[in-house]
Amino acid sequence: MRSASSDAVFGLLGASFGALVGAGISLLVLWRTNRFSRLRDEQAEQVRQQAVRTLVKAEIDLNLQMLRDEAALIDLDNRPDDMSGIEWVASQPCPEWSTVAFAQTVGQFHAALTDAQIRSVQAFYGGLRSYSTARANLSAVFARPQSYKYVSVPYDKADALLAELLRTRNPLA
């Protein structure tokens, strides 16, 4: 006959073994779940980074097309005969650049773009702002009766900025 103490020992050993097996299985399931979750997060981050690149690239392409359209619009060969070149440029509205993708994703650039690309993208958008400011200054100065020398400075600045921007290629292309 078996004693009650041996039954208790075997019961305790069985319960301990069952607990160890259960804990091991739980840890294995937890590890696999964590691994799959980490992989899913990494894939989602890659998709997010690609989306940032695609959005900003498309927006830069749009702005570059707007620049080409702007250059064609203010081409002095297209101006009416009764307007001076500066008057023609000052009378044309500056395009309203698309900056939504840039503004909304700038905080994610560090993960989606290289440092050189970030600098190039920021320089491009800074150039657009500078050109818009130069055009606004030209229009403001031209609106007031001034001598030609006061108008030629903002005109030359706007012209130089436009020429520089037209040489720009999309840094994300």
- pLDDT above 80 for 139: yes
- pLDDT above 90 for 145: no
d(CA 80, CA 10): 105
CA dihedral 80, 82, 88, 91 (to 10 degrees): -110
Give the position of tokens 């069985």: 14
- pLDDT above 90 for 29: no
DSSP 77: G
* pLDDT given at position 173: 80
Query: Domain-by-domain residue ranges, the chain?
Result: 50-166
- pLDDT above 80 for 153: no
Give the position of tokens 């993960």: 111
- pLDDT above 80 for 86: no
* pLDDT given at position 119: 94
Amino acid at 28: L
Residue 89 contacts by C-beta under 8 Å, 6 or more apart in sequence?
Answer: 74, 76, 135, 138, 155, 158, 159
* pLDDT given at position 50: 93
- pLDDT above 60 for 130: yes
Which among 49, 165, 66, 171 is positioned nearest to 121, based on CA atoms?
171
Mean pLDDT, all residues of the chain: 85
What pTM did the predictor assign? 0.72
